[in-house]
Structure 1
Amino acid sequence: MTERLAARFARCREEGRAALVTYVMAGDPDPETSLAILSALPKAGADIVEFGLPFTDPMADGPAIQAAGLRALKVGQTTVKTLDLVRRFRAGDPDTPVILMGYFNPIYIYGVERFLADAKAAGADGFIVVDLPPEMDEEFCLPALQAGFAFIRLATPTTDDERLPTVLQNTAGFVYYVSITGVTGMATPDFGRVAAAVSRIKRHTELPVVVGFGVKSGAHAAEVAKGADGVVVGSAIVDAVARSLDPEGRASATTVPAVTELVGELAAGIRSVAKSRAA
């Protein structure tokens, strides 16, 4: 599973650009539309997809992703159904890495051993579990690594050089740098500070460093892509879904196009940096 991630980052390096990592919530606004969105992301320019596991208490998520999770839960999205969507996506796309992102509670309730087996069968490549610090690696991180998955850790503006080696110790796939303090989607990062932070992290690891939280446009993505190996966009995409819904909160004819249009803009922003480097 880590091989798919490594191959994708290698391809982006060959093209002289950062990877575009896109986040959407599983089951939002309904399972079939969610699958249609997930399947459309790579065609629109996404290199890696993060698929959110809906949870009732998403403490790191801002209002947009919280609302997406509630919409998914309202229509009955479960962990079982989320893994089935991954399986259906993988049947049509053997190459795009899929990262499941969420919180430990749904995994714990599901059962770690069962979850890892079912995630492998579905075709997932790794996990971001935002509420599991390194001190709890035995709960899920180490079993996931032993099963062949990438376990992606978050580094933040408050992760200093003393703490960073601990954070990186069992990280695989890539390092996710959170560009702002606070929850997702609530502020625009200071791009100069982000570049400095990425350089600092790279002195400690050979893993790709991707940057997320607060990236909302192609221009933002281009700024981050100047120094990072990847750019993560979540809240802006989830917002695009929300704005496309009809008055009853159901998918409309514009839902999937709203996502693909934004992802195309983000991909173009990233590729503009590659073009300027080549020039």
Structure 2
Amino acid sequence: MPRWFGRSKPKSDDTAQTSAEYENLDPLAVSDDLRLAYSRNGDPKLLRAALQAAELGVAVYPTDDVRHAATLSALCMLHRLSWERDRSAADLIKAVDYGRQAVDKSLPGDPVLPRHMSSLATALQEVYDSTRDQESIDEAIALYRGCLDIMPVGVDAQGEERVAQESNLADSLLRKGRTLNDGAILNEAARHARAALRDTPDDHPMHPLRLVNLGGALLGLVQTGRREHMAAAEDMYTRGLRELPERHPARPGVEQTLAVIRGLRGQFGV
């Protein structure tokens, strides 16, 4: 898992501290380090410590410092991770609240605003998954669209982040399209999923999941009666399964869906 906010820098160079000393005391950098450590071993103590460091950051960074919004966004992400671990509704409520604050308090021209928008959108997507609240998925979709509107197009690190947001948008559209059985929404989901896959190198760790995302959009179209997408959906899931690491947590779901597709192909003779 990559560093999300990067190494924070002092607002001004007018300081007696060296960069190394500053970073050692920087709550945002400490919080992100702890989050990364948690992602590697799953120790809940690390997650709690990351939350404490981020809470300290909100208190010490002034509102005219870009790190203030970044730390609010970190709290959004961390409470979402806590929700994923413990399924406490309070954590999900806090994730959305901190995400909204991060977006609202971002300074004009803040280069990481798309990340704050994405963190909020992901939390809202979790709300939708647990409640089926249509307003939550609509807001998530609008936020992902907004990310794409303000992100530059390119092949550098920002370009890679843009591809990730395109994939996120496809995923949210797929959720809504499947719920409503809406072919137009699913077509748009497939278009964005195809674009994200196109711009993802074959050796990128997200490549198998983007194959599966496109397969999911195509399967959604099949379920609206568009059986001509059946073979392509099966191909995407087959390739995704082949590329996923042996112990990847997504494998059982991909295997199950692939079995469903093959059953449908046999049933309909396509």
Whose strand fraction is larger, Structure 1's or Structure 2's?
1
Structure with bigger gyration radius: 2
Whose helix fraction is larger, Structure 1's or Structure 2's?
2
* TM-score normalised by the chain length of structure 1: 0.29
Instruction: Answer 1 or 2: higher relative contact order, Cα 8 Å, separation at least 6.
Output: 1
* TM-score normalised by the chain length of structure 2: 0.30
